[in-house]
Amino acid sequence: MVEVASSVVYDVLGQRAQDVDKPIIDYIINVLADEDFDWGAEGEGAFEALGELLIDSGCVTDYSECRSVCRRLSEKFGNHGLVKQKQAVRSLATPLRMFDGMDEEEAPKKKPQELDGPVLSERDRLKLERRKRKEERQREAQYQMHLAEMEAVKAGMPVVCVNHDSGAGGPAVKDIHMENFNVSVGGRDLIIDGSVTLSFGRHYGLVGRNGTGKTTFLRHMALHAIDGIPKNCQILHVEQEVVGDDTSALQCVLNSDVERTQLLEEEARLLALQREMEFEGATGKSNKNINGGTNKDNVSQRLEEIYKRLEFIDAYSAESRAASILAHFPLHSFIY
């Protein structure tokens, strides 16, 4: 069925299917080749499932052409017998006569169905019901265990924080090579003997249906739970669901640099303290010691240390770098 679906997709899309990345075309083919795929009327199901992907990948130019392509795909799949006919649904507003097509004579009574094998006794019936309830409880317990494991994985996520000393003293490896790794959740294997290579400077997208393990895979990467991720590589994972507030996206990225934020706050506090000391000196008050032993020399020395550290972590260009991240990495994770 996949072979037929592949020939139909390449036939309808033509040269544009050759120009698009092969993993995207393979994903489109696998979705359409699914036996349970609902095409809907005139390919409406294909438009809802793949319309955005067809436009974003360049297979079509706009929504109008996308609907036309989905309609042609539906027709060609139907010609190959790959589109299941849905049962007609009768409108509830249409009157229905229950006796239409029946003779006036009394319909013959249905003969009792003969059962093969012995009839269950009351005791056996109760036993089957107890077994059924036990299986339902086991399934519910397994489901709750799966939810608990997912929450545990989520709780184990590291705090989104930039570490400027990560990998200090070691080689600055920029490429990521993960080989022969496995990812499982709740006893269910999601990825077996996986191999992924991410080259520095390239942009990657992770495509797949819901529940196939995309988020779990990214969480494992953020936790450095997969061999092959360099120690100097920092991965900041962004959750799908967050509590909305007035914080801008740019500020959220800047807030991940906790050290920079703390240094800037301490700088502002010490500068205010320094101005207070200078004012007291100008008015003739003693500024030798203030706030429990803090003097002007100590403040100046600490400010000098803060300025050196801010320069070392390149804090003053952080806003432009954060804007670049938002412009080029609209994905689940940011990789440095």
Q: How far apart are CA 306 and CA 263, in angstroms?
A: 6
Residue 336's pLDDT band, with cuts at 50, 70 and 90, is very low
- Domain spans of the chain? 1-80, 133-241, 249-328
Mean pLDDT of 219-238: 80
Mean pLDDT of 96-103: 54
Q: pLDDT at residue 103 above 60?
A: no
When comparing pLDDT for 331 and 162, which is higher?
162
Mean pLDDT of 229-242: 70
Q: What are phi and psi of 126, to 5 degrees?
A: -65, -35
* Least confident interval from 105-119, 138-152, 226-240, 272-286: 105-119
When comparing pLDDT for 145 and 41, which is higher?
41
Q: pLDDT at residue 169 above 50?
A: yes
Residue keyed to tokens 């590589």: 233
Q: pLDDT at residue 270 above 80?
A: yes
Q: pLDDT at residue 331 above 50?
A: no
Q: pLDDT at residue 334 above 80?
A: no
Q: Contact at 8 Å (CB) between 43 and 73?
A: yes
Question: What is the per-residue DSSP string for 149-173?
Answer: HHHHHHHTSPP----TTTTTTS---
Mean pLDDT of 223-227: 84
What residues contact 303, with CB distance under 8 A and at least 6 apart?
267, 270, 271, 274
Mean pLDDT of 213-229: 83
Share of the chain above pLDDT 90, in %: 4
Residue 66 CB-density burial (10 A; 0-12 exposed, 13-18 middle, 19+ buried): buried
Residue 239's pLDDT band, with cuts at 50, 70 and 90, is low
Residue 96's pLDDT band, with cuts at 50, 70 and 90, is low
* Least confident interval from 283-287, 299-303, 315-319: 283-287
Q: List 188's β-bridge partners, or say none.
A: 185
* Least confident interval from 116-120, 202-206, 264-268, 290-294: 290-294
Mean pLDDT of 309-330: 78
Global pTM value: 0.39
What is the average pLDDT score of the chain? 76
Mean pLDDT of 222-226: 82
Q: How far apart are CA 194 and CA 20, in angstroms?
A: 24
Q: How far apart are CA 275 and CA 281, in angstroms?
A: 10
pLDDT of residue 178: 92
Residue 114's pLDDT band, with cuts at 50, 70 and 90, is low
* Least confident interval from 142-151, 235-244, 326-335: 326-335
When comparing pLDDT for 23 and 104, which is higher?
23
Mean pLDDT of 256-272: 87
- Greatest mean pLDDT among 15-24, 83-92, 268-277: 268-277
